[in-house]
Amino acid sequence: MTSEPDATKLKRIKRYDIIRLIGEGGMGRVYLANDKIIRRPVAIKVFTIMSTPGSETTKEKLMRDFFLETQTAGALLHPNIVVIYDVGKKGDLFYMVMEFVYGRTVLEHQRTSPFSMKKSVEIIYELALALDYAHSKGVVHRDIKPENIIMSAQGIPKITDFGIARFRKHLKGHRRHAVVGSSRFMAPEQVLRREQDHRVDIYQLGVVLFELLTRQSPFKGIDSESTLSKICTEVPPPPGRINPEIPEQLDRIVSKCLEKNPNKRYPRAKDLADDLAACLKAGIHTLISPDDELVENLKKFELFSLFSEEEISELVKVGEFVTCHAGQYIIRENETDSNFFVLLEGNVKVVKQSRILTGFLPGAVFGEVGAFARQQRSAGVVAQGDCKLLQINALLFKELDPLLQLKMLHIVLRNIASLVISLDGELMQLTDGKGRSAALPLVCPLCGFNNKAPIEICPRCGVIPAKYPEPLMVKEKIVTKTISDDEETQEYLPLDLP
């Protein structure tokens, strides 16, 4: 009789070679593995499903239900949902093979580097759209919490663990403290074991938003039982009472998510996303009321000449008109922000480390590269006088008509192409015309050492090549020798290099 595989000593599962353990919790262990056939890294969650003593649910039925549930969840393809590639069984062990996301969970971020209010709203906005997609396919998560949300290295939030929340109580090794850890995210109908639907996810997403905004739980009990009691009986405080910087608009959104009665919550996750989008339209700049003149200005600019009046109107609806005064930063260097701008009136300058790089005139679109790439801004933009701008959050592009999205992306690509051409010209000035850096040569100008990569400090002779723009061509050193009291000679000897 062969022994069952030990989840703690796995080396391989089918075609997946286990590399290392990357996570462990109440719902099993997670390994980083390599798919030998497709040659890609994957994450494998491994666990054991057991029937509960005294329950009429047999192990065979649990297995069938598990494969059916994960089959449905595995069909989900969304940028904010971790993809399920494969599921299977090895002895008593069940496994789920998923997309490997390089990043950290929202829980880890909360502990070390909490998100700003704006970033928190952006995260929940994207997750609400992801849940709306899953719900449209008949899939409910039932266990939305910070541990099940991963932030990728590119700053994209992704929901994981679709398809297994229903089987939590049947997982071998499922510990009591794991239940306590999730109890504060349970919806009242889950606590009371009443009928549940997709609105459980909306409630749980509201709890996550509350914690991101306040760094506190809406229901704080001394133990699991008291927390569950508070969930069913107490009305949580508005987040604005804990953090005065939170606007009333967000207070109302969170309160609607956390309604005890599911019928009083948002009927769809898309409705929640729509309200969050309204919050994202507002930024740190002073809002001004849109008027016909500002809209007409957009139509006059060359970049928007191909836009119809209806498309201009739709674009204006997902943005906000803002104003900035002389010397005010519109974009700050090194910040991460998802807004980009169309300059309607006034002039701005682009600065990096207090040095002016260039400027923009009305009609220019700027900030789009950092907004779409979700990367830190490489430079700042400062108003040179009073300016009026259209501010658009890149995340809200999903709200636009697909054809309008394509036209806006055409503008973005045109700007990027212009930037690349400009940078290419600067690069040619810094190189020998063949892409080799003049400031950091491949070959040391002193000793001739070929590093096959740009040299900052030569590893052989220790010279700094950037200080010698012209090759010194010194291959020898001069040594003076005394022959007699009144006679000397010089010899040229090879450099004694390490």
Single-letter residue type at 249: Q
Q: DSSP assignment, residue 218? A: S
Roughly how many angstroms between the first and final C-alpha of the chain, as a whole number? 64
CA angle 102, 103, 105 (to 5 degrees): 135
Question: Tokens representing 84?
Answer: 């399920």
CA distance 180 to 95: 24
Distance of CA 256 to the CA centre of its chain: 26
Give the other-Cβ count within 10 Å of 114's Cβ.
Answer: 15
- In three-state secondary structure terms, 151 is strand
Is 45 annotated among the ligand-binding residues? yes
Backbone angles phi and psi of 354, in degrees to 5 = 70, 5
Give the other-Cβ count within 10 Å of 293's Cβ.
Answer: 10
CA distance 97 to 28: 13
CA angle 8, 10, 16 (to 5 degrees): 140
- CA distances to 336, 366, 463, 474 from 460, in Å: 41, 46, 8, 14
Strands 93-99 and 40-47: antiparallel
Single-letter residue type at 4: E
- CA distances to 106, 128, 299, 302 from 362, in Å: 40, 36, 12, 11
CA distance 46 to 53: 22
3-state helix, strand, coil in the chain (%, to 5): 40, 25, 40
* Burial call 140-153: b when 16+ CB within 10 Å, e when fewer: bbbbbbbbbbbbbe
Tokens 């700049």 label which residue?
285
CA distance 103 to 155: 9
| Number of residues assigned to the chain | 498
Residues marked active site are found at 143
Distance of CA 179 to the CA centre of its chain: 28
Binding site residue list for ATP: 45
